[in-house]
Amino acid sequence: MLQVLLVTFPFFALVLAGYIAARRRMLPLEAIPGLNGFVLFFALPCMLFRFGSTTPIATLLDGSVAGIYLVCALVMVGFAVAMSLNRRIRWNDASLGALVAAFPNTGFMGVPLIAALLGSQAVGTVIVTIVVDMIITSSLCVALSRLDSPGGAAQAGKNALKGVVANPMPWAIILGAVASAVEFTLPGPVEKTVWLLADAASPVALFTIGAVLARSQMTSNHPMPLSDYLPVALMKLLLHPLLVLLAGLSAIQLGVPLDPFALKVMVLVAALPSASNVSLLAERLGADNGRIARIILVSTAAAFLTFSGAVSLLT
């Protein structure tokens, strides 16, 4: 366990550094969108392209991983919505809460953290889960969030798909997969530039997570009962990885060609804290961002122990 904590500590320490920097105003809140933009549009796509282009194409097209992970994500969304809906928490808030229960912080945190723990051979499986969450899980939750609004779920689903198309991360993954399939390599100077941006993704993304969490807490500081957010955070950290583990083991017993190593990676992805960018989505959709921010903050803080515990049990 100590060895695992030594590996995971720097990643969570960078999140804490970003949180403190924003809380103490060493980093102006107005600068956070700039950091987020750098990670989302430059550094992270370069990192995903690098991993995608250097990963065997068969790993990136693993249908067993995608299918099992998707089923678990759908179960998590359905369960979280059913547990959250009440007189105060309607479809908008319940659906965005379900999204943070099912959508791990894979892009900003999972890719570098799991690569550090299990090696670069784990990244292909991580990329498959990113595609599932970005294209299906997030689009479904956005559509569900509009069930109480005049536009309805159909229009929301279209808008969600537009958001996916405008997101550079799926395109970086697709380009990396194509490069892997045709064994294409970038020209030397271009490759070095892309690789430098890729190297910046991990530290800047982790620092940005902390800053985003601090800003959300500072701007959404209204009283709220623990029952509104703590159960969802626990679902993310405990129920989600357990569900993926049980589903994967059952699939293997039924003869599904799922690599045990890939299952281990999937469980660790599910054990990650909630995706921090859902807080931005909640703001845009008019959901209770204070609730979403609290779920993300609690899951991120607690994940230092729960994620490290999952790694210790699986490795």
Q: Tell me the percentage of the chain whose pLDDT exceeds 70.
A: 93
> Domain map of the chain by residue range?
2-314
Q: Tell me the percentage of the chain whose pLDDT exceeds 90.
A: 43
Question: Burial of 303 by CB count in 10 Å (0-12 exposed, 13-18 middle, 19+ buried)?
Answer: buried
Distance between CA atoms of 264 and 18, rounded to whole angstroms?
29
Model pLDDT for residues 227-261, shown as the tens digit of each residue = 878 999 999 999 999 999 999 999 999 999 999 99
Indicate the average pLDDT of the chain.
Answer: 87
In this predicted structure, what is the pLDDT of residue 151? 59
Distance between CA atoms of 171 and 72, rounded to whole angstroms?
25
CATH 3.10.20.340 fits 2-314, yes or no: no
Q: Is the pLDDT of residue 119 over 70?
A: yes
Beta bridge partners of 171: none
Section 103-126 average pLDDT: 89
The separation between the first and the last C-alpha atoms of the chain, rounded to the nearest angstrom, is: 10
Model pLDDT for residues 26-77, shown as the tens digit of each residue = 999 899 888 888 988 898 889 889 888 888 887 888 899 999 999 999 999 9
In this predicted structure, what is the pLDDT of residue 163? 62
Section 110-123 average pLDDT: 89
Out of 153-162, 183-192, 270-279, pick the least confident. Answer: 153-162
Q: Is the pLDDT of residue 153 over 60?
A: no
Q: Is the pLDDT of residue 152 over 60?
A: no
Closest to 274 (Cα-Cα) out of 100, 26, 152: 100
Tokens 């547990």 appear where? Answer: 83
Section 203-212 average pLDDT: 88
In this predicted structure, what is the pLDDT of residue 85? 82
CB-based contacts of 122, cutoff 8 Å, min separation 6: 114, 115, 261, 265
In this predicted structure, what is the pLDDT of residue 158? 66
pLDDT: which is higher, 281 or 207: 207
In this predicted structure, what is the pLDDT of residue 195? 93
In this predicted structure, what is the pLDDT of residue 287? 76
